[in-house]
Structure 1
Amino acid sequence: MAWDEWEQTKADAAARQPSSTPLDQLAPAAGGGGVGRPDMAASPAAKKAAAKVIHDDLEPGVARDGKHAAESTNAAVKAFGAKDGSGWDTADALKRAHGTWEKQVKMLLGRLSSEKQALSATGIGLRNNDLDIATGLARRSRIHGI
């Protein structure tokens, strides 16, 4: 890539970058992701909704599409496989590639599951922490007759 092309590419990327999101400084004291942008914090209802989307849409979709890809790949492996004693190298390559892809799909499903559980448990964990702190403070409080 010539120097002029590189400079033009950088200028195009800078033009697409919102000017209100400088990456070299902290977020404003009031929070939020910049001018007119919402804060990154999510309400318990939003976390519950996100967990529901993972459970209802993403996990079943990944599993369904993974099954479809497995069936397609198996059909291709069979088509390229040995029919008269020797098959195409493509069949073995597809098997190896599919094995790697299958591991990635399993890892993705595991990650989605852990994210769903984390989203569901966040409110409970924070509430339990608050209760533990309140209990600890109440034991030391002189107001309660200690």
Structure 2
Amino acid sequence: MAWDEWERLKSRAAERQSAGMRLNQLEPGGGAPAPERYGDLRVGQADLARIGRKAFGLYNDLWDKGRRAVPSSESAAGALSRSGFALGGGLRQVATRWDEQMASLREACAHISNHMTVSTKLHAGDDHYVHGLISGIDTLDAGFDERVGAPGRPNPVYGAGGGKGGR
């Protein structure tokens, strides 16, 4: 990449910066913003609960309705095999494979349903943890910024003691 190309890319990025997401900006008054005050990816408990209910409903329907053909297919496969038809073995294989696939699909639905039940709690905990980290970084960063206080005045981050390291 040539230097002039790099400069063009930097100027384009600067022009778009106002519409972009900023991670390095504090709200007025200091401190990191609360998790619910930033970002554009949002999901509520009601959304997750609705997905979980649909997955659970599909799980039940697959058990109740998706397996209806299995017993009769296995019975027909046995009768065909006893009568000497090769189709009996094929029908048994289809019924067995169908049952295996239904079990796999039911397991996936149960996994989705269970996951939706705990997602909000987990993500809320993650948001709280990240917010705490960012708040701690803000405080630490302010301590290293000599420009926080007025020129010639002690940095207020260090408290009433006056200076860094007891100087």
TM-score (norm. length: structure 1): 0.58
Separation in 1, partners of 2:136, 2:44: 31
Q: Where does residue 111 of structure 2 map in the other structure? A: 114
* One-letter amino acid of the structure 2 residue matched with residue 45 of structure 1: A
Counterparts of 1:11-26 in structure 2, within 5 Å, are: none
| Alpha-carbon distance, 1:42 to partner | 4.9
Secondary structure class of the residue paired with 1:129 = helix
Do the aligned partners of residues 42 and 130 (structure 1) sit closer, same or farther apart at CA in structure 2, a change above 3 Å counting?
closer
1:94 aligned residue (74, 86, 91): 91
Do the aligned partners of residues 73 and 112 (structure 1) sit closer, same or farther apart at CA in structure 2, a change above 3 Å counting?
same
Q: Percent identity?
A: 14
Q: Give a deviation string over 1:72-125, Cα, whole Å, max 9, x none.
A: 112211321215xxx211110011111221121111111111221232233122
- 1:77 to 2:77 alignment: yes
Separation in 2, partners of 1:65, 1:140: 55
Separation in 2, partners of 1:140, 1:58: 46
Aligned residues: 103
- Over the residues paired in the alignment, what is the CA RMSD in angstroms? 2.7
* One-letter amino acid of the structure 1 residue matched with residue 44 of structure 2: S
Instruction: State the 4+ residue runs in structure 1 displaced beyond 4 angstroms.
Output: none
* One-letter amino acid of the structure 2 residue matched with residue 54 of structure 1: A
* One-letter amino acid of the structure 2 residue matched with residue 62 of structure 1: L
* One-letter amino acid of the structure 1 residue matched with residue 82 of structure 2: A
Which one has the largest radius of gyration?
2
Secondary structure class of the residue paired with 1:122 = helix
Secondary structure class of the residue paired with 1:67 = coil
TM-score (norm. length: structure 2): 0.52
Counterparts of 1:20-99 in structure 2, within 5 Å, are: 42-55=43-56, 57-83=57-83, 87-99=84-96
| Alpha-carbon distance, 1:126 to partner | 1.7
| Alpha-carbon distance, 1:43 to partner | 3.3
Q: Give a deviation string over 1:2-45, Cα, whole Å, max 9, x none.
A: xxxxxxxxxxxxxxxxxxxxxxxxxxx9xxxxxxxxxx965320
